[in-house]
Amino acid sequence: MKFRCSEGHQFNVTWSYVQKYIASSTQCPLCKHGENYFLSDIEREKLSKENEYFYKDRNGRVFKTQKEYRECRRRERASTDPHEMAIESLCDKIPHSKKYGFRKAVIEAFIKWEAISIMRENKIISQNATPDRIFLKKEMNTLYCTMCGDRAENCDCKEDKIPLYDLLSESYINDIKNDINFVPDLFAIDEENCKITALEVEDTHRIPISKLVKYAGFKDHADWYIPEWEFELLVCDRFGNEMGYINLPVYYWASIADDFYENYLIYLEEEEKKAPRIEKELIGYYRSTTF
């Protein structure tokens, strides 16, 4: 039967329900228990999830997830902060550029490149061919031997067989991940030419030497294990204009000195004098920044 209370709530109930509750109470069930009273557990749970939110700001804006809130904050900063405005400008100008997820993107690029190399060695694809995304993903899930590195169906080893992706993740690429202990303002990965470009935007101060040393350590480790890939650090000003590149080996070789912290200017000057020059190099950058 259909009923409507003085507050305008409409609901369907049986006559026995009316006799048991409404006759002995001055309130209808919706007035007493809320408008979700007659919902099933599944419907109530679904509605609860829809009404959940991560954060509510002073203006009353509701953000369902942390990602949604973070993206909104980023957009606001980009519209008012000169540093963020420069990063946004560079993002629009540089192909393949991204602002977030540097470590994950670099490791994924290395793993993808290694997988393609293995596929070429095993003649799964020709030497100059590049598999499409679906074919590559399928090969990543194919079982490989942890001993000889060949496909499971071609291997007689009695060692464990794991997916190719896991095999590559557990190799030296996992060690390189530990060297990515810095976050660039922006980065671009050119998989076709095997080049990674990290970008730093100068705003109120120059890049500290300690951060340049971290960049240099990553470059040296990556050059050792994956010499086919090139890593470079580009410095831009607050207006998004390119200033030049940092000669990272200078900072790496200088940093291995035991008393580098106390005498970093001396070591950096010595290494810069004997280091091969690079195109658009920012010579003497360390003289105008802090440690």
Instruction: Identify which of 280, 208, 287 has the alpha carbon closest to the alpha carbon of residue 246.
Output: 280
- Please give the residue that has the higher pLDDT: either 257 or 63: 257
Percent of the chain whose pLDDT exceeds 90: 44
pLDDT in tens, 64-102: 777 787 778 777 776 777 788 888 888 888 888 898 899
- Please give the residue that has the higher pLDDT: either 7 or 199: 199
Is 13 in contact with 25 (CB distance < 8 Å)? no
DSSP-H helix ranges across 34-171: 41-51, 66-80, 82-93, 102-121, 133-140, 164-169
**DSSP 8-state secondary structure symbol assigned to residue 76:** H
Q: b or e along 278-287 (b: 16 or more beta carbons within 10 Å of the residue's beta carbon)?
A: beebbeebbe
| Pairing label, strands 10-12, 2-4 | antiparallel
Inform me whether the pLDDT recorded for 287 exceeds 90: yes
Domain boundaries, the chain: 2-51, 55-92, 103-173, 182-288
Q: What six digits make up the tokens of 51?
A: 């009404």
Q: How high is the mean pLDDT of the chain?
A: 85
pLDDT in tens, 8-27: 777 777 777 777 766 666 56
C-alpha to C-alpha distance for 198 and 183, rounded to whole angstroms: 9
Which amino acid is located at 262 in the chain?
E
Q: What six digits make up the tokens of 198?
A: 């990290």
Secondary structure element (H or E) that encloses residue 240, with its range:
none
Is 162 in contact with 152 (CB distance < 8 Å)? no
For residue 124, give Cα distances in angstroms to 131, 150, 155, 232: 10, 12, 15, 32
Is 18 in contact with 3 (CB distance < 8 Å)? yes
Which amino acid is located at 281 in the chain?
E
Q: Of the ranges 55-64, 133-142, 189-198, which one carries the lowest mean pLDDT score? A: 55-64
Position 171 confidence tier, pLDDT thresholds 50, 70, 90 = confident
Angle in degrees, CA 133, 194, 189, rounded to 5: 70
Position 175 confidence tier, pLDDT thresholds 50, 70, 90 = confident
Dihedral sign computed on CA atoms, order 29, 33, 39, 42: negative
CA 197 from chain centre, in angstroms, equals 15
Percent of the chain whose pLDDT exceeds 70: 88
Say what the pLDDT of residue 39 is: 63
Which amino acid is located at 80 in the chain?
T
Q: Of the ranges 9-13, 158-162, 210-214, 262-266, which one carries the lowest mean pLDDT score? A: 9-13
Say what the pLDDT of residue 17 is: 73
- Please give the residue that has the higher pLDDT: either 98 or 159: 98
pLDDT in tens, 220-249: 999 998 899 999 999 998 888 899 999 999
Say what the pLDDT of residue 70 is: 77
Inform me whether the pLDDT recorded for 44 exceeds 70: no
- Please give the residue that has the higher pLDDT: either 53 or 199: 199
Mean pLDDT of 129-134: 89
- Please give the residue that has the higher pLDDT: either 259 or 18: 259
| Pairing label, strands 186-190, 97-98 | antiparallel
C-alpha to C-alpha distance for 78 and 105, rounded to whole angstroms: 23
